[in-house]
Amino acid sequence: MRVALLTSTIALTACATVPPVATPAAPTVAASAETDPVDTAADAADDPAIWRNPRDPAKSLVIGTDKQAGIHVYDLTGKRVSFTAAARLNNVDLRDLGGRVIVAASDRADVTQGHVALFTLDTATARLVPMGRYPSGAGEAYGMCLWHRAKDGALFGFVVMKDGRIDQVAIDLAAPTPKVTAVRSMKLGTQAEGCVVDDRTGLLYVAEEDVGLWRFAADPAAPTTATAIAQVDGRTLVADAEGLALAPRGRTGGYLVVSSQGDNAYTLYRLPGVTYAGRFRIGGGAIDGTNDTDGIELALGNFGPDYPAGLFIAQDGDNAPATQNFKYVSWAKVLRALKLR
């Protein structure tokens, strides 16, 4: 297993991102729906994932973690349709492998040993079927994202540890019991969590909370060195840099979206060059806005009249007087607000 240690503050001084403008505008976009609140109080709801129903997009499902109790499944109205108890799940991601939907979550139940919790999503009943939990590496597991390699259909997971180490595992689903094998590790200098992989390009993006964004090659045979792509500058991206999501377009284009937790905003970078494209906030409608967002997710496509171009979801860290939940936002409205395509 190979490990590369990065000196974050030095590397990011050479970041190639376009210099930010002073106090960039952040228009407000209203949420179209919100989920039922999670059952536990304080810091509980954390990260969402989206399964788009290809036959009937209006019946798509949203998965969200409650890191004190378990994992929820919601419909597009935000109603909770199922719950699976599990201790201290944090981030969640999924891939639809030709009708078999695999869900993976980072498991923090043991702070000395990270685990990956695996489920299958029964799309007919909207229930998660546990497939077991598997060790990924020493330490406390925070972030979680999946990569479905195009050339051979192999499935990999990336577990971002609290100390900034990123453990990559191969997930073999050929047998009834999955086989999860560590294949390599990378290392950032300080605490990290949010990650996302672009299946088109095989690139892994990771958010180092107080420093900025990094890019790795996702293939386990690739070097473990990282490329600095955007800096926490206090203007366009405000610490903590938290959840990451992708809006792919064409072969390499689209947007990388980041939760700018420190000022309750969301920052967009244009791909493939990762240049600053704008930022927005959620609020201003009948549904309350978001604050202190941890996880985000975005799925493009038609999800029905409320989400004709895609569905953006953000965890709401302050849903008072109720407990935390997740807000649903039309991606078409975000693009219009930012005057983007």
Q: Which CATH class is domain 8-338?
A: mainly beta
Helices and strands in the chain, H and E counts: 2, 25
Is the model's pTM score more than 0.85? Answer: yes
Question: Which structure tokens are listed for 335?
Answer: 């693009």
Positive or negative, the Cα torsion across 205, 23, 265, 53? negative
Q: What end-to-end distance do the CA atoms of the chain give, in Å? A: 42
Inter-residue contact 73 to 85 (CB < 8 Å): no
For tokens 């950032």, what's the residue? Answer: 188
Cα–Cα distance measured from residue 8 to residue 310, given in angstroms and rounded to the nearest whole number: 34
Inter-residue contact 107 to 97 (CB < 8 Å): no
Cα–Cα distance measured from residue 43 to residue 143, given in angstroms and rounded to the nearest whole number: 16
Cα–Cα distance measured from residue 180 to residue 176, given in angstroms and rounded to the nearest whole number: 13
Residue 22 pLDDT? 58
The closest alpha carbon to 30, from 289, 258, 300, 265, belongs to: 289
Cα–Cα distance measured from residue 194 to residue 186, given in angstroms and rounded to the nearest whole number: 15
Low-confidence residues in the chain, pLDDT < 70? 1-23
Residue 245 pLDDT? 98
